[in-house]
């Protein structure tokens, strides 16, 4: 699995942090990020701030290492707190 996800040019992770990972899953994701570091692009979409990611990974040290890897030479894009889906729904209701 590590080799599979390490080879793709762009790995997109949506709703990151929504579900908590078990220890094995968190370590696997860490290995995937490590393999991709500085050679492949990774996009992560989340509503959860980095400070809350330790709950997702269940281990503060592992969480810090993952955040370190995915934020190294990255571009952070913050889109705000307004939900795109909610805005579309509201616009459709007004029609």
What is the chain's Cα-based Rg?
15
Neighbours of 94 (CB within 10 A): 6
Q: Cβ(37)–Cβ(73) under 8 Å? A: no
Q: Do the Cβ atoms of 47 and 53 come closer than 8 Å?
A: no
**Fold of the domain built from segment(s) 2-94:** Rossmann fold (3.40.50)
Q: What is the pLDDT along the chain (95 residues), one digit of tens a residue?
A: 899 999 999 999 998 888 899 999 999 999 999 999 889 999 999 888 888 898 899 999 999 999 999 999 999 888 777 777 888 888 888 88
Annotated domain spans of the chain: 2-94
Strands 41-44, 10-13: parallel, antiparallel or unpaired by DSSP? parallel
**CA nearest neighbour of 76 among 47, 44, 53:** 44
């Amino acid at each position: 699995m590590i080799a599979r996800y390490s080879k793709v040019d762009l790995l997109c992770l949506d709703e990151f942090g929504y579900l908590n990972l078990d220890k094995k899953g968190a370590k696997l994701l860490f290995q995937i990020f490590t393999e991709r570091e500085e050679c492949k692009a990774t996009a992560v979409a989340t509503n959860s701030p980095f400070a809350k990611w330790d709950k997702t990974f269940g281990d503060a040290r592992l969480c810090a290492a993952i955040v370190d890897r995915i934020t190294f030479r990255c571009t952070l894009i913050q889109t705000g707190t307004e939900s795109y889906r909610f805005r579309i729904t509201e616009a459709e209701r007004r029609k």
